[in-house]
Amino acid sequence: MDNQETLLQYPSSSFLADVRKHTATETITEKEITRIKVNNPNVKRRIVVGNLNKETVKFDPEIPLYLTNNRTIQQLYNDKKICKLIIEAKIRRRGEYSVVRSEPTSFCRSMKTAKVRIKENGIIRDVKFYRMFCNSWNCPTCCKRKANMVRREIIEVSGLNNLYYHLVFTLDGTKIPYEYKNSELNDTHKYITKIFNHFLTLLRREKRDYVKKKTGQIKHFDYSQLEKELKYIWIIEFQKDTKNAHMHILLNQFLPIEVIRDLWMHVGGGVEMFIERVKTVKGLSIYVTKYISKGLNGVDGSNISLDCGFKYYERRYAISNSCERKPKNSIIRLFDILPTFDLKAKFLVKQGLDWIVNELNNVTDEEVVEVSFDT
């Protein structure tokens, strides 16, 4: 492969005109082209792709660009009929218990994606080809992989934000409304997340005055910490005996048990709860994240009751927006303006990069293939 001096060129006007001929339903305008940029506030650097007057794509070095061999359903997603079918399927599935499949779906790891890194002069540095995972909680291959990714994320965020306090909220079965739990329904996940949001509203609205009133008899309590912004991560677990959901919450500040019990019972929660300071953030994070994988019904043949598991589209955890996170590497999806993989491939072939197309279409068992041009 003599591609060391190959520049990654931007689609020219003539090529875009050729694209329009092949896509009668798609209109590609210069405005859409110049709009391709990364504006994510969590991204360390901003990438702006050159306009039609510049032949070479300009961006920072060490930034990966992705070429994706899209699935057929993704290519047809703009079709209104396909959109309608997908929405209807989601509506039908909502409310059903989420169970891990016995086998992965047909599209899991059936396609490849290419990550291209470019040098400062615009020359390709290296290319890595990966298998595409479906990244679904219901896939036996991806669910554990996803749980491990979530575990690493929670450990990282907990350390950055000093989440040293472990708070547990439970529900009182006698106080759960009939529309959330009865002989035919168990929506305690929906109920506990609803009253937790109400709890946060009350806590933020009246925190300082309310806490002072309730804790007037508590000595040596540092009220200055109440001025700190509340940061938290919550993880939901289902109890085996009552089949009710309860919350494990990681906090960055201490709240007196008298205060949180009064507020939690006021919004509809149970009386059983506790808050404690832990020795290490990492140890606490590892402890609570085990519930992420515990709620995967059917993993390793375990006979977990469907009445105490997650349903489709229910969140297993949440991280507050106030939590700081490490800046993410900037990623741009290359040639989003070209709607199909065939058009992307045609463009790459014109630049002498047909070997990338061939590798994406190569149905082999390799997990990672790396092609480096560094001397």
The more confidently predicted of residues 117 and 174 is 174
Q: Sorting pLDDT into bands at 50, 70 and 90, what band is 369?
A: low
Q: What pLDDT score was predicted for residue 55? A: 32
Quote the pTM value. 0.68
Q: What pLDDT score was predicted for residue 81? A: 66
> Percent of the chain beyond pLDDT 90?
16
Q: Sorting pLDDT into bands at 50, 70 and 90, what band is 329?
A: low
Tell me which long-range contacts 50-54 makes (C-beta under 8 A, separation of at least 24). Answer: 50/10, 52/10, 52/12, 52/13, 54/10
* pLDDT of 78 above 50: no
Alpha-carbon gap, residue 79 to 281, rounded angstroms: 47
Report whether 102 contacts 110 (CB < 8 A).
Answer: no
Q: Sorting pLDDT into bands at 50, 70 and 90, what band is 67?
A: very low
Alpha-carbon gap, residue 159 to 157, rounded angstroms: 5
Residue 281 forms beta bridges with which residues?
none
Q: What pLDDT score was predicted for residue 250? A: 93
Q: Sorting pLDDT into bands at 50, 70 and 90, what band is 371?
A: low
Q: Which run of H or of E encompasses 81?
A: helix 80-93
Q: Sorting pLDDT into bands at 50, 70 and 90, what band is 96?
A: confident
Alpha-carbon gap, residue 24 to 27, rounded angstroms: 8
Q: Sorting pLDDT into bands at 50, 70 and 90, what band is 332?
A: low
* pLDDT of 201 above 60: yes
Report whether 164 contacts 275 (CB < 8 A).
Answer: no
Q: Which tens digit of pLDDT belongs to each residue from 239-252? A: 878 888 999 999 99
Q: How confident is the model over 182-205, as a mean pLDDT?
A: 89
* pLDDT of 130 above 60: yes
Q: Which tens digit of pLDDT belongs to each residue from 295-319? A: 565 444 444 444 447 888 889 999 9
